[in-house]
C-alpha cells in the first residue's frame, strides 16, 4: 500500500482497514507493506501510480486513489487468494 501522511483519503482507508479486520479476523493475517511515498521515494518511483492510497497485490495494482470500504474489502479478498 502506498500512502502519504498528509493524505486524508489514506487516513480514511486506514480506518476502514481496521474496521474490516474487526469484521473479518481473517483479514488480519494479510501482510500489508505500507510505504509512505514521501519517506521512501526510491521505492515509490519503482511503481506506476499517481494517486494515494494505492494498493498492489502480488505486484499487480488493484486500486489507486480515494477508496471506499467496499473497495478495500475487494483488495483484502484478492490478497487472500
What's the pLDDT at 47? 95
pLDDT band at 24 (very low <50, low <70, confident <90, very high): very high
Sheet with 60-64: strands ordered across: 35-36, 2-3, 54-57, 60-64
What is d(CA 9, CA 5) in angstroms, rounded to the nearest whole number? Answer: 10
Dihedral angle sign, alpha carbons of residues 10, 61, 36, 38: negative
Angle at CA 28, nearest 5°, toward 23 and 30? 130
pLDDT tens-digit map of 39-77 = 999 999 999 999 999 999 999 999 999 999 999 999 999
User: Is-contact 77 69, C-beta < 8 A?
Assistant: no
- Domains and their CATH numbers in the chain: 2-80 (3.40.30)
Amino acid at each position: 500500500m502506498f500512502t502519504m501522511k498528509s493524505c486524508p483519503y489514506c487516513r480514511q482507508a486506514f480506518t476502514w482497514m481496521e474496521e474490516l479486520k474487526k469484521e473479518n479476523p481473517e483479514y488480519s493475517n494479510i501482510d500489508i507493506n505500507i510505504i509512505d511515498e514521501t519517506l521512501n521515494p526510491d521505492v515509490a518511483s519503482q511503481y506506476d501510480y499517481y494517486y494515494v492510497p494505492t494498493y498492489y497485490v502480488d505486484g499487480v495494482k488493484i486500486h489507486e486513489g480515494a477508496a471506499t470500504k467496499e473497495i478495500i474489502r475487494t483488495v483484502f479478498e484478492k490478497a487472500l487468494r
